[in-house]
Amino acid sequence: MTVLDIIEKKKTKQELTNEEICYFVNGFTSGEIADYQASALLMAILLNGMTDQETYNLTMAMLNSGDVVDMSALGGCVVDKHSTGGIGDSTTLALAPILACCGVYVAKMSGRGLGFTGGTIDKLESIPDFDTALSEQEFFDVVKRVGCAVIGQTANLAPADKKIYALRDVTGTVNSIPLICSSVMSKKLASGSDTILLDVKYGSGAFMPTPESALELAQKMVAIGTLAGKRIGALITDMQQPLSDHIGNSLEIIGIIDVLRGKKNRLYNEIKEVAVRLLALTGKYDLVTAEKAFQQAIDSGSALTKFAEMVQAQHGNAEYIYNPGKFRLGTIDAVTASCDGYVTEMIAADIGRAVTHLGGGRMTKADVIDFSVGVVMKVAIGDKVKKGDVLAQIYHNGKGLEEAKSLIKNAITIGNKQPAEHKIAYAYVDKNGVKMY
Ligand code: URA
């Protein structure tokens, strides 16, 4: 067998065998298969797709390229959630302490920012001294003691995904259902949780453009997780506008503290939906008792205290959690409305790109992030605005200000007609089928 035979087969729309898929994954991970050949195969997969069996085999080959974490010694339910990525998506940061307050363990390995999307690990590192690289033993100890911990993906968790993803990012092969499915599921099956909630995003700030394509991806991921013996469900949610009104690293921590203090906004509603579904999936709760437990965790203040506990356990300065005014932020500028009307549309990805221009994300792997910059949205889709109203505040340190202003201005459409309400969730899917919202 040669990699050329495999490329040829996929180019001519034939189904790859498990041996061929393992040959590719193992050969590319070990460095025997060159980037240019792997790129050709990835593009053939993007264009010609994969059968469910091929997607399953690809997931398993990527999973088996590294370690599988064993969390069974915790002796309780270990939950995980994964978002396919978006703008202002800081849900994990609030979910971890909320779920820990509800009596389940959260042992979360997260990623850094990718393309126009922000990364949970970068956001956490904006808290002074926060350590996202705990040893495996320390990670386990914090989860056992506090109930939750969030670290970066360890080097040997699905290393095939790490290499393949880096190549997809620069070869235009990210938005392929079998490639996203195998990438997400290889990591989720390796990370030691027994219950998984996937948050599959659609819209201008997501990799899936439409709710239908996001649902298709969700169904495939749920089928693979179920086959692998996990309790798994997926929510299909809206990413047509930033999820949090705070976008940027320190700003998103401030947005999360607002939610943990009980502020009711789009982010709060999404966090609630994910938490309730995840708690119900564990079998310890039904939808009604899960919602009560969620509310209790917020209203009692225990979720905020738990967040501070997690920050302290991971060597971070917890004073920032109780006093978010301590975060250093850039100078404020503003983008204003050029006419009266309603906000009818947003290009969420361009708002993410604006934050990258300000220095809040990476253009190259080597870039150092400026945690103090970002954007605070003052409007959402459907809002009525008058000429001169502030649409967004920009926190900057000089770098990229003009590009950011122009991106944000062009990303927000103001029209005459109020658009229909944008619901947070479009559908939920688990082994019992699809529930439309
Ligand atoms: N998130 C992942 O982990 N992988 C993908 O391919 C896309 C989003």
Q: What is the pLDDT of residue 155?
A: 79
Instruction: Compute the distance from residue 216 Cα to the ligand 1 centre, in Å.
Output: 15
> 207 with 89: CB under 8 angstroms?
no
pLDDT band at 204 (very low <50, low <70, confident <90, very high): confident
Spatial separation of the C-alpha atoms in residues 275 and 99, rounded to whole Å:
7
Q: Is the CB of 180 under 6 A from ligand 1?
A: yes
Q: What counts of helices (H) and strands (E) characterise the chain?
A: 17, 14
Q: What is the pLDDT of residue 242?
A: 94
Mean pLDDT (the chain) is 95
pLDDT band at 116 (very low <50, low <70, confident <90, very high): low
Of the candidates 202, 206, 92, which has an alpha carbon nearest to the alpha carbon of residue 422? 202
Instruction: Name the one residue in this structure whose structure tokens are 């905020």.
Output: 304
Q: What is the pLDDT of residue 230?
A: 96
Cβ neighbours of residue 254 closer than 8 Å, sequence gap 6 or more: 246, 324, 327
- With H, G, I as helix, E, B as strand and everything else as coil, classify residue 335: strand
> 330 with 373: CB under 8 angstroms?
yes
Which pLDDT tens digit goes with each residue over 347-374? 999 999 999 999 999 877 678 899 999 9
Q: What is the pLDDT of residue 240?
A: 92
- Torsion sign across C-alpha atoms 86, 114, 81, 254: negative
pLDDT band at 207 (very low <50, low <70, confident <90, very high): confident
Task: Convert 418-427 to b/e letters by CB count within 10 Å (16 or more is b).
Answer: eeeeeebbbb
Beta-strand ranges (E) seen in 355-397 are: 374-377, 384-385, 390-396
Its pTM stands at 0.93
Q: Ligand 1: which residue has its CA nearest to atom 8?
A: 84
Ligand 1 atom nearest to 187, measured from its CA: 3
Structural domains of the chain ordered from first start: 3-49 (1.20.970.10), 72-323+425-436 (3.40.1030.10), 329-415 (3.90.1170.30)
Instruction: Point out the catalytic residue in the list 80, 89, 122, 161.
Output: 161
Q: What is the dihedral of CA 275, 187, 202, 179, to 10 degrees?
A: -160
The end-to-end CA distance of the chain, in Å, is 48
Q: Is the CB of 184 under 6 A from ligand 1?
A: yes
Which pLDDT tens digit goes with each residue over 295-310? 999 999 999 999 999 9
Mean pLDDT, range 165-182, rounded to an integer: 91
Instruction: Name the one residue in this structure whose structure tokens are 């920032």.
Output: 320
Q: Ligand 1: which residue has its CA nearest to atom 5?
A: 180
pLDDT band at 80 (very low <50, low <70, confident <90, very high): very high
Mean pLDDT, range 317-325, rounded to an integer: 98
Which pLDDT tens digit goes with each residue over 11-56? 999 999 999 999 999 999 999 999 999 999 999 999 999 999 999 9
